[in-house]
Amino acid sequence: MTPNDIQLRKYRKRFQLLDVNGNGVLELSDYQAIARRFRQNFDLEPGSDNANAIDDTYTRLFAAMHRHGDRNGDGHVDENEFIQTSAASLLGRPDGFDRAIKPVLTVICQVCDKDGNALLDRDEFRRFLTAEGAPDEACAQSLAHLYPANATTITFDQFTEATRQFYCSPDPDAPGNWLFGDF
Ligand SMILES: [Ca+2]
Ligand SMILES: [Ca+2]
Ligand SMILES: [Ca+2]
């Protein structure tokens, strides 16, 4: 499945955020750095259920990407390999998003919903975005597109739908395209 220009730009954006140390390949240390930011942003106690859940989730995400994504077998997943692998798993299979990303979102919602009201308020969402590496400007762009005017919260379902649009939608006008800001 060949991604269109919009999907390509979003996958490049995602790669850029996942490659925390900016060396052009995805490593376990990149994913661990993101998990560490989640633990900091959400004040997770070391060894707590949520801290372990977020560590396990990002370790497993890396393992899956490393297993399927290193297409030329050089031991690394570069940007092109990431794009090809994302397109194959998320665009090439109707249940791709539900299998690859939805379980991750379940953990993310559980961790990010600090006050436990089953909604993501703007502060919780901003903490999520900065954990993922989005700078302030990107956070503002994302909030502007994902939160309806004057809305202080979104539901987990709205968050999931926006994330589905980010990973899967070919539509240039899908609000979820802006999940991590400009793309
Ligand atoms: Ca890297
Ligand atoms: Ca490779
Ligand atoms: Ca909440």
In the numeric block, the tokens 């996942």 are attached to 18
Q: Which helix (H) or strand (E) holds 120?
A: strand 119-121
Which residues fall within 8 angstroms of residue 31, CB to CB, at 6 or more apart?
A: 18, 58, 59, 61, 62
Distance 157 CA to ligand 2 centre (A): 35
Domain at 5-169, CATH from 2.60.40.420, 3.90.25.10, 1.10.3470.10, 1.10.238.10: 1.10.238.10
CA 77 to the chain's CA centroid? 17
Asked if the model's pLDDT at residue 150 lies above 90, the reply is no
Asked if the model's pLDDT at residue 1 lies above 90, the reply is no
For 53-106, write each residue's pLDDT tens digit.
999 999 999 999 999 999 999 999 999 999 999 999 999 999 999 999 999 999
The proportion of the chain whose per-residue pLDDT surpasses 90, expressed as a percent, equals 99
Distance 22 CA to ligand 1 centre (A): 5
For 14-23, write each residue's pLDDT tens digit.
999 999 999 9
SS3 state of residue 178:
helix
Distance 82 CA to ligand 2 centre (A): 9
How many angstroms separate the CA atoms of 27 and 61, rounded? 11
**pTM, entire model:** 0.96
Query: Mean pLDDT, to the nearest integer, of 170-175?
Result: 98
Distance 85 CA to ligand 2 centre (A): 11
Asked if the model's pLDDT at residue 109 lies above 90, the reply is yes
Q: How many CB atoms lie within 10 A of CB 94?
A: 7
